[in-house]
């Protein structure tokens, strides 16, 4: 949206419009879903003025009101499904990872969480008929896990027919058996993955705001952002806020971070994929004592919760723990050199 249109809102002059745009409030919709406190803090606007601007934007953008179930159904038809390229897992998840939702993948060290984020950074770029979302990826790396070499492996691990489709659409001459063409294709995949390393929890929160700006810049481009991966969501919060005395502040900051991520999903029809660490519950006498970090804040914010568990060799059990419209269940996959593969 051009800046001068923001000046149509009551109380927004040229200087205020500049402040709003500089802080990511570039459209009526992005203003409408903000809170007065948030806008006041980030754009240096009085809270009372911010409330008036937000209310005017809500009227202009026609958000915040009730709608019929039929309208909700029509809007949900815009939701995309990102395939894992593993039929058993896709069936478990009702087609794959949903846009406009937070999908949480948790499990112990070595269970394959980072492998999932890397695989989805590749899969999201595929054509919809091949299970992708025809878009790019934002990757927030909090534990120094992102490895371009794994993207190389996973692109090479795609089916030859999919590779041929990708070469054709990206205008790369050659075949999957042509090493020079493959290297060009791998570079093209890497070009659509935007990576940032988060050094602490405050930087991680800032990167979520930057991710919203980046998604807005690419919204009308050939490669809109269709997935945001955060690997891992809780590592910095867990390390920096230690003990019960700091639990409330940790959860409050984590809650804001999750809402910032969810806003990206809602505004830009983007899938949000986060990985999470686990801890052992000593009070559990029966069953698996492993539980996800983050408590109820993360439990309620995540639309889909997936538990990855090690099995024999390279096998991993993918367990759907929580989903609003799907039954709990399990599927099996393998984590191999070429990426995630069926059993």
Binding residues for ATP are 107-114
Exposure of 315 in the CB half-sphere (CA atoms within 13 A): 9
For residue 203, give the H/E element and its range.
helix 201-218
- Rounded to 5, what percent of the chain is helix, strand, coil? 45, 20, 35
**Under 8 Å CB-to-CB from 148, ≥6 apart: which residues?**
190
Q: Are 202 and 255 in contact (CB under 8 A)?
A: no
DSSP category for residue 129 = G
CA 31/CA 26 separation, integer angstroms: 8
**Residues placed in the known binding site:** 107-114
Q: Which residues touch 216 (CB under 8 Å, ≥6 apart)?
A: 24, 26, 27, 30, 267, 268
Best CA proximity match to 334, nearest among 301, 302, 312:
312
Q: Given the structure tokens 């371009």, which residue do they identify?
A: 148
DSSP structural state of residue 224: -
Q: How far is CA 51 from CA 42, 46, 54, 148, 340, in A?
A: 14, 9, 5, 44, 47
Q: Residue 163 contacts by C-beta under 8 Å, 6 or more apart in sequence?
A: 155, 176, 182, 185
């Amino acid at each position: 949206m051009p800046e001068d249109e923001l000046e149509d809102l009551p109380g927004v002059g040229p200087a205020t419009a500049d402040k709003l745009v500089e802080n990511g409030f570039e459209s009526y919709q992005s203003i409408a879903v903000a809170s007065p406190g948030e806008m006041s803090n980030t754009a240096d606007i009085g809270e009372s003025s911010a409330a008036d601007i937000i209310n005017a934007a809500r009227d202009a953008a026609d958000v915040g009101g009730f709608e019929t179930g039929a309208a909700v159904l029509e809007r949900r038809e815009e939701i995309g499904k990102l395939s894992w390229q593993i039929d058993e897992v896709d069936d478990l998840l009702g087609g794959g990872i949903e846009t406009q939702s937070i999908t949480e993948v948790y499990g112990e060290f070595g269970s394959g969480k980072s492998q999932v984020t890397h695989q989805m950074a590749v899969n999201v770029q595929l054509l919809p008929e091949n299970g992708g979302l025809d878009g790019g990826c934002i990757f927030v790396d909090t534990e120094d896990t992102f490895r371009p070499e794994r993207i190389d492996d996973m692109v090479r691990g795609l089916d030859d027919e999919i590779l041929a489709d990708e070469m054709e659409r990206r205008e790369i001459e050659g075949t999957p058996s042509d090493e020079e063409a493959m290297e060009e294709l791998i570079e093209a995949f890497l070009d659509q993955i935007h990576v940032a390393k988060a050094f602490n929890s405050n930087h991680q929160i800032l990167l979520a705001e930057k991710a919203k700006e980046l998604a807005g810049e690419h919204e009308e481009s050939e490669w809109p952002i269709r997935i945001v991966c955060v690997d891992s969501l809780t590592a910095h919060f867990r390390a920096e806020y230690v003990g019960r005395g700091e639990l409330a502040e940790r959860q409050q900051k984590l809650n804001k971070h999750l809402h910032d991520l969810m806003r990206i999903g809602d505004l830009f029809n983007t899938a949000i994929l986060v990985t999470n660490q686990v801890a052992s519950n000593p009070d559990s006498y029966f069953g698996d004592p492993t539980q996800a970090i983050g408590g109820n804040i993360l439990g309620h914010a995540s639309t889909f919760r997936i538990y990855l568990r090690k099995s024999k060799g390279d096998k991993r059990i993918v367990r759907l723990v929580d989903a609003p419209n799907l039954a709990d269940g399990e599927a099996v996959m393998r984590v191999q050199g070429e990426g995630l593969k069926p059993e």
